[in-house]
Amino acid sequence: MIVAVIDDLIFRSRIHAAAESAGAALTVLPSTADAAALRDAAPSLVLVDLGAPAAIDRIRDLRALPGPPATIVAFVSHVRADLIVAAREAGADRVLARSAFVAELPALMRREPAAP
């Protein structure tokens, strides 16, 4: 299961389209989702929009959940160095600029590692 924690409607539609194209199971949660909603979704991959309120808190919530850890891929404007550092410190596995995230989205939906 792939979970996207996102409020931005444009990116939400891009993620939905990529999931549909790849045949991936996707659940979209708002940035205000609590830890219980994240746990109940049982994600293996979580996509987090760092531009959303409380995004860093959601990453921390995910890292605190029992069970196998989900892979967390966060994305943000490349000029937000503060959020990039905070996401890494909170436990994000990868932090991508929005443009790189869009380019890697099909591979993420297929759960294939992107080329370095």
pLDDT, mean of each 10-residue run, the chain (116 residues): 90 92 91 80 90 89 85 89 94 94 92 46
- The sign of the dihedral angle between the CA atoms of 84, 86, 88, 91 is negative
Q: Which residues contact 33 (CB under 8 A, 6 or more apart)?
A: 5, 58
- Residue 115: what are its φ and ψ, rounded to 5°? -65, 145
* pLDDT at 102 (0 to 100): 92
pLDDT score at 4: 93
Instruction: Give whole-number Cα distances, 67 to 31, 43, 63, in Å.
Output: 22, 11, 10
User: CA-CA distance, 55 to 46, in Å (whole number)?
Assistant: 12
Token pair, residue 101, equals: 């995230």
Would you state the pLDDT for residue 95?
A: 96
- What are the chain's domains? 2-110 (3.40.50.2300)
pTM over cut 0.75 = yes
Whole-number pLDDT of residue 43: 85
